[in-house]
Amino acid sequence: MPDAISHLPGPEITEAIVLAGGLGTRLRDTVKGPKSLALVHGRPFLSYLLEYFQREGIRRFILALGLGNEDFGGFLEAERRRLDFLYDLSVEAEPLGTGGAIRLACARAWEPEILVLNGDSFFGIDLKALARFQREKKAECCLSLKAMESFDRYGRVELGPEGSLLRFQEKQFYPRGLINGGVYLLDREQFLAEPLPDKFSFERDYLEAGCGKRRFFGLVQDGFFIDIGVPEDYQRAQNEFPRPFPSHAEPC
């Protein structure tokens, strides 16, 4: 588990795709524009995500955007100057689903392995631990999983031997279980070689369809997790988002 391997050196992951095109229709009464730019403690949610993963070693972010992408220009330039990273934009001409958006953004990446993040959720993972696990398993995709109790908003993920993904269970009430934390480490070259359509769901058509058949693995991590996609959790972020800001990275 993460505590056993996080202190060991892992392969360096330097690029990340951030799915940041969602417009937050369920938050329309409190948030205007993209969900990832919703304010938490007076600061765009995406700012926390970029800072955390820049400190974990990401040096280039690819923002996967759709409608509303014009809202990101000034914000990204300010963050680039503050945190010193590179960025690129991958803009959908039409909605492609999460899978299509990731595939389009992967074509703009440079590295063979890439981190994929949901722009409206935060999971404070140990990136080096995830990268080491991915290499050890020779995985096509590794998921970061969060243990949770008394939940019904998320489906449950079951693991098989040595952390292989066994199945995804539908959303319903569970007294306890593992959820998909929305942080993936992807073999980019293999993913781009897949015979996938232009429009598809990464979760349903790639992960769930390949579960038990492909080299998909899950690593349980215990970092802070929150998804601001619904009003009650957006409000919870205002009260619970950690300060000072956490990081697993070694100090420079």
Read off the pLDDT of residues 147-176 as tens digits, 9 standing for 90 and up: 999 999 999 999 998 999 999 999 999 999
CA 118 to chain centroid, in Å, comes to 4
Tens-place pLDDT, residues 229-247? 888 888 888 888 876 666 6
Interstrand relation of 174-187 and 113-118 (parallel, antiparallel or unpaired)? antiparallel
Model confidence at 125, pLDDT cuts 50, 70, 90, reads: very high
pLDDT at 31: 57
pLDDT of 183 > 90? The answer is yes
Helix (H, G, I), strand (E, B) or coil at 227: strand
Q: What is the pLDDT of residue 252?
A: 38
Query: What are the domain boundaries of the chain?
Result: 11-240
Half-sphere exposure of 22 (CA within 13 A, CB side): 24
**CA–CA gap between residue 9 and residue 16 (Å, rounded):** 20
d(CA 226, CA 223): 10
Structure tokens at 175: 């007294």
Report DSSP state, residue 72: S
pLDDT in tens, 39-88: 888 889 999 999 999 999 999 999 999 866 767 878 999 999 999 999 99
CA angle, corner 183, sides to 181 and 184, nearest 5?
125
In this prediction the pTM is 0.90
* pLDDT value for 191: 96
Taking the CA of residue 59 as centre, how many other CA atoms within 13 Å lie in the half-sphere pointing to its CB? 5
Per-residue pLDDT, 245:
67
Structure confidence at residue 25 (pLDDT):
54
Q: Which two tokens stand for residue 234?
A: 């957006």
Q: Identify the CATH assignment for 11-240 out of 3.90.550.10, 3.40.30.10, 1.10.3720.10, 3.30.1330.30.
A: 3.90.550.10
